[in-house]
């Protein structure tokens, strides 16, 4: 008997239908010498420390780091899992051959192999079914191309290394920081500080962005512009930081004639959009409709299981060469629901550019596209996501958009100005995105009248005053983009290249990372914004090891995991490095090597902070720096450790004005913001004389 293990019941039913297997049993479908059964996603997970040794149920620094010599498996603790697993085990023990039909990727491979291991059937012959779509044609084609399951041993090795290394780093660092810093405010309930290889760098990015905005001080600037023939011309130089320089140029051109000296018209071609991968789809739907990344993934997964779109958890925006014959068929099927949009396309002469077809850029799965199956009974989110995928797919085969970009140069008393205007000549693919076109037209340069070189006349120059703006808080759209392009934050070229392909997390996990941070109260949603909470900021302040807060570790791991997938790195060598890393992390953190080297740098001038009799101050006080921090405020006295955390992590100060008095915001011992009044000038002088440390002594 052959046993086919799918990842979900719905996929198992689809496979059984295609193979004409009809007899339904409890937990599987049987017929024609086959049994099709299913998991519920992850059925099997790694055991907890207390299951290796009951003494490890108690969290203690003395037992860290804990790294098993050999990892053991167990069933996840969910209703119905044990019964379904026993069914799978019974079938596998009877099987002559087992076919893996879980999701075609790293995690799907892990689900299957962990089940196989816990069943004790790893020695059974196995084969691999690799699906990009759940349509009957795709399933039949995949069964004709079954491969030896052990061809995917390197993929499983990479998946197992990812699972075990996440366990080692996450569990040990979470226990360490919770035991060590769980009562940072003193007394009360212990705080559970959860650390993760991916979630913690993402949290650090959000904290850093929020702190940058909080510390931002707007600076005034002035721009010189002029009106000529109802067109706004802008000064071609940089904007002015001082009004005196701007006013000088304004005076120079006031009452002077304005002359057109050059007119340059260029045609610009805008290529059609590329197909969606999961992250780009999530970003686009969040930007245009405000749907969360998690909701977009759920809707896309539902569409996949309804056979309406191809496999969603992909990081590719391309199709493979063998897809070419299928594309016209899909577009022909879509005519029933999108007749007007597909009518302009000649389906017998579609243009397949490198932006669409590129075998080198298709990894486990190709881009997300519709299958051509007619949708029925979709909920609001599913309809929205399906429409986005279908429109993007059709637009990819539309002609380019052609625009005329006109640049007009003018001068007044030797001061140069310029104006730009855009005119759409052929809209091409943009007709499918009317909302985007309206937004673009609103933001685009003005419509220009017909100018002639050498013409001259009066104009109306003026100064526009503005202020510099801080960066925007992260939205899900921009955070997903930052996670995808995490290589920007890494200096090492090799690691940056690894992150260029993978980024932080994977397309399948990024939404879950955001939801995890939300559920743990490390970040919060404010309309479309994602903002750090005091808990999140405090956690980042506590973590001294830079690798735990940087995409660098993720980049290094992903690079090595890809090497394991390609059989270019021994999994044992990778895991040995992980074990060494966590031992070093716990040892250094426990010994205080990262924490006791210095108090921190002055948030005003950057010099070292030193400790006096009753206060902390800047070592550059003789040079005029007036930064002084008194540890006691409103009856609360911060410990030396807390002062060090605040200074080293630059959480202090946030200059603000309250009741028209200058103050500084800090993080209180409970992780809540409180304000410190800046010492008065007289008090600062007294502090300098009496309390401030004297370097000479």
Structural domains of the chain sorted by starting position, each given as residue range(s) with its CATH number in brackets? 2-150 (3.40.50.140), 164-214+472-591 (1.10.460.10), 220-271+401-467 (2.70.20.10), 278-393 (1.10.290.10), 609-691 (no CATH)
Strand, coil or helix: 655: strand
Cross-strand bridge partners of residue 644: none
Contacts of 147 (CB under 8 A, 6+ apart): 127, 128, 130
Which strands sit side by side in the sheet containing 654-658, from one edge to the other?
Answer: 654-658, 661-667, 673-677
Strand, coil or helix: 487: helix
For the chain, list residues with pLDDT below 70: 183-189, 437-445, 486-503, 552-553, 555, 589-601, 606, 613, 633-636, 640-642, 644-697
Residue range 591-643, pLDDT digits in tens: 654 433 356 667 777 677 777 767 788 877 777 787 888 777 656 677 766 67
- Cα separation, 480 vs 296, in Å, equals 13
Measured from the Cβ of residue 438, the count of other Cβ atoms closer than 10 Å reads 10
- Cα separation, 79 vs 43, in Å, equals 11
Is 667:646 a contact under the CB 8 Å cutoff?
A: yes
> What per-residue confidence (pLDDT) applies to 688?
42
The pairing of beta strand 456-457 with beta strand 616-618? unpaired
Contacts of 321 (CB under 8 A, 6+ apart): 357, 359
CA nearest to 579, candidates 71, 76, 137, 57:
71
Number of H helices, E strands in the chain: 22, 26
- Cα separation, 187 vs 516, in Å, equals 27
Tokens of 663: 């103050």
Residue range 187-224, pLDDT digits in tens: 456 788 999 888 998 999 899 899 889 888 999 999 99
Burial label for 670, CB within 10 Å (0-12, 13-18, 19+), is middle
Is 321:327 a contact under the CB 8 Å cutoff?
A: no
CA nearest to 673, candidates 658, 692, 683:
658
Cross-strand bridge partners of residue 214: none
Contacts of 514 (CB under 8 A, 6+ apart): 202, 292, 293, 294, 476, 479, 523, 530
Catalytic residue among 114, 311, 386, 616: 311
Taking 3-state DSSP, the helix, strand and coil percentages for the chain, each rounded to the nearest 5, stand at 45, 20, 35
CA count, 13 A, side-chain hemisphere, 513: 23
Contacts of 95 (CB under 8 A, 6+ apart): 1, 2, 3, 35, 121, 124
Is 465:222 a contact under the CB 8 Å cutoff?
A: yes
CA nearest to 240, candidates 226, 225, 228, 230:
225
Tell whether the torsion through CA atoms of 16, 22, 24 and 25 is positive or negative.
Answer: negative
> What per-residue confidence (pLDDT) applies to 548?
83
> What per-residue confidence (pLDDT) applies to 332?
96
CA nearest to 92, candidates 129, 71, 72, 117:
117
The question of whether 156 is a catalytic residue gets the answer no
- Cα separation, 588 vs 544, in Å, equals 10
Tell whether the torsion through CA atoms of 479, 480, 483 and 486 is positive or negative.
Answer: negative
- Cα separation, 172 vs 185, in Å, equals 22
Measured from the Cβ of residue 130, the count of other Cβ atoms closer than 10 Å reads 18
pTM given for the model:
0.78
């Amino acid at each position: 008997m052959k046993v086919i293990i799918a990842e979900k019941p719905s996929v198992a039913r689809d496979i059984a239908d295609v193979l004409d297997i009809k007899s339904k049993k409890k937990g599987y479908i049987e017929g024609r010498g086959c049994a099709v059964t299913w998991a519920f996603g992850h059925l099997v997970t790694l055991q907890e420390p207390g299951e290796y040794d009951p003494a490890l149920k108690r969290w203690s620094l003395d037992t860290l780091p804990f790294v098993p010599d050999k990892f053991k498996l167990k069933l996840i603790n969910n209703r119905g899992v044990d019964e379904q697993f026993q069914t799978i085990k019974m079938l596998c023990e009877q099987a002559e051959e087992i076919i893996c039909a879980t999701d075609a990727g790293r995690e799907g491979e892990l689900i299957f192999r962990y089940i196989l291991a816990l069943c004790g059937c790893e020695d059974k012959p196995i084969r691999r079914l690799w699906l990009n779509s759940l349509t009957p044609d795709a399933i039949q084609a995949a069964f004709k191309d079954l491969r030896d399951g052990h061809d995917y041993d390197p993929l499983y090795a990479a998946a197992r290394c990812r699972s075990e290394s996440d366990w080692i780093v996450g569990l040990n660092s979470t226990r360490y920081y919770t035991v060590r810093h769980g009562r940072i405010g003193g007394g009360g309930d212990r705080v559970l500080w959860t650390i993760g290889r991916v979630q913690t760098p993402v949290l650090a990015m959000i904290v850093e962005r929020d702190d940058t905005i909080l510390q931002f001080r707007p600076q005034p600037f002035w721009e010189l512009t002029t009106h000529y023939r109802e067109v706004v011309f802008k000064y071609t130089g940089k904007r002015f930081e001082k009004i005196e320089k701007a006013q000088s140029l304004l005076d120079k051109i006031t009452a002077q004639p304005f002359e057109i000296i050059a007119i340059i018209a260029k045609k610009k071609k805008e290529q059609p959009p590329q197909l969606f991968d999961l992250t780009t789809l999530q970003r686009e739907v969040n930007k245009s409709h405000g749907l969360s990344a998690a909701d977009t993934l759920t809707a896309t997964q539902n569409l996949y299981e309804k056979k309406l779109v191809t496999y969603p958890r992909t990081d590719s925006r391309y199709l493979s060469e063998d897809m070419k014959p299928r594309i016209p068929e899909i577009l022909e099927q879509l005519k029933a629901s999108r007749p007007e949009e597909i009518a302009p396309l000649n389906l017998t002469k579609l243009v397949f550019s490198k932006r669409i077809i590129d075998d080198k850029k298709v990894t486990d799965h190709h881009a997300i596209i519709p299958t051509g199956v007619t949708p029925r009974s979709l909920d609001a989110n599913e309809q929205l996501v399906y429409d986005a995928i279908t429109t993007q797919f059709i637009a990819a085969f539309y002609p380019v958009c052609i625009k005329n970009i006109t640049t007009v140069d003018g001068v007044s008393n030797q001061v140069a100005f310029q104006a730009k205007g855009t005119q759409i000549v052929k809209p091409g693919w943009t007709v499918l995105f009317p909302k985007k076109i309206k937004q673009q037209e609103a933001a685009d340069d003005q419509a220009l009248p017909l100018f002639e070189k050498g013409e001259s006349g009066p104009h109306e120059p003026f100064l526009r005053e503005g202020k510099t703006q801080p960066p925007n808080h992260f939205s899900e759209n921009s955070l997903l983009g930052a996670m995808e392009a995490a290589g920007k934050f890494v200096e090492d070229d090799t690691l940056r290249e690894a992150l260029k392909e993978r980024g932080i997390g994977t397309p399948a996990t990024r939404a879950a990372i955001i939801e995890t941070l939300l559920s743990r109260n490390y970040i919060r949603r404010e309309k479309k914004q994602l903002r750090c909470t005091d808990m999140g900021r405090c956690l980042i302040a506590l973590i001294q090891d830079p690798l735990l807060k940087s995409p660098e570790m993720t980049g290094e791991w992903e690079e090595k995991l890809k090497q394991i997938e390609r059989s270019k790195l021994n999994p044992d060598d990778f895991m040995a490095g992980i074990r060494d890393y966590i031992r070093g992390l716990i040892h250094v953190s426990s010994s205080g090597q990262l924490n006791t080297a210095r108090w921190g740098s002055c948030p005003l001038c950057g010099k070292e902070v030193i400790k006096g009799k009753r206060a902390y101050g800047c070592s550059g006080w003789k040079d005029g720096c007036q930064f002084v921090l008194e540890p006691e405020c409103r009856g609360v006295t911060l410990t030396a450790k807390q002062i060090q955390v605040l200074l080293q992590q630059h959480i202090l100060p946030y200059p603000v004005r309250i009741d028209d008095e200058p103050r500084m915001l800090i993080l209180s011992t409970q992780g809540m913001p409180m304000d410190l009044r800046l010492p008065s000038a007289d008090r600062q002088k007294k502090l300098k004389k009496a309390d401030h440390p004297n370097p000479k002594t």
